[in-house]
Amino acid sequence: MKKLGSIASWILAFGGVISSFYFYFKNVKERVPTFIVSPIKPILVDSHLLRDRTFKIFDDRGKEILENVYVITFYFFNQGKESVKKENILAPIKINISKGARILNHKILKESRKLCRFQLINNDSIQGTIEIDFKIMERLDGFTGQIIYSGDSGSDLTIEENSIEGVKEIANKYSTPPEDLILIYGFLSCLAFVCFLFIFIIVKINITTENKKSLREILNTKYQLVVRNEEHLAEKSTISFTYLKLLIISTSAFLLIFISSLILSKTLLFELFNPKQIPGIEIPANILP
């Protein structure tokens, strides 16, 4: 029984180490400002349709618009656990549009909370830049913005880096690290449980036998599995093994099946069961219009 308690303590210690890593990463606080641009750009005005028309379109400065006019949507939010405050902004956070494109209009479609006071200011249509201003941006605070521009459909938006204290790079994808850690934590917990169950069965068998052995002896003792032909007993085949080898093989098989299933679920099986899946983007629901 002491051996069983010793094994249990090792398993608990292993689980404790995993838990400590999990809760450490879960509670790490950092600022993760995220800027995502929608790949869908609806055309608002087609310049080809204006060539034979008697009317013209002008911008707010009275300049005639001769190019196509597009609408582009973007999302700016903080997916980190550390808030971003106005005093953390080291330089104006600027959104730039590709050269050759001209910003005609911009607005915020939806913001997470009014008290964050998100604004799009200092529109420079010549340089193609807009500044983002706000009071505070806590976890999953942010907004959905819209820009109307004239130019090419291939024009894109970028955001200037190194504008926020403690942030070297602004993320361009919404991810959920806690869920990834839970997956790893669950996998390691299952693996630990399999090992614990395997050793428990071995020790339990050892307790019921007369000749008591240490765990090391149990794991390294050689056994033979004999398979006989019921009709011809002389016909037999043997398989040599130790519990240690069996443990290694079963653990390796468990790892292989788990990893293969994970890869297939995100590649081949995903395409097979989602043939009409449209590539898209993931955004916090509280900022969607």
Which domains does the chain possess? 2-22+177-273 (no CATH), 33-159 (2.60.40)
Cβ partners under 8 Å of residue 105, min gap 6: 147, 148
For the stretch 17-39, pLDDT in tens is: 555 655 555 566 788 999 999 98
For the stretch 191-231, pLDDT in tens is: 666 666 666 666 666 655 556 666 677 667 787 778 877 77
pLDDT at position 278: 41
pLDDT band for 276, please (50, 70, 90 cuts). Answer: very low
Sheet strands side by side (includes 93-97): 119-124, 129-133, 93-97, 157-159
For the stretch 147-157, pLDDT in tens is: 999 888 888 99
- Enter the tokens of residue 191: 């693996």
Single pTM value for the model:
0.60
Rounded distance, CA 192 to CA 174, Å? 31
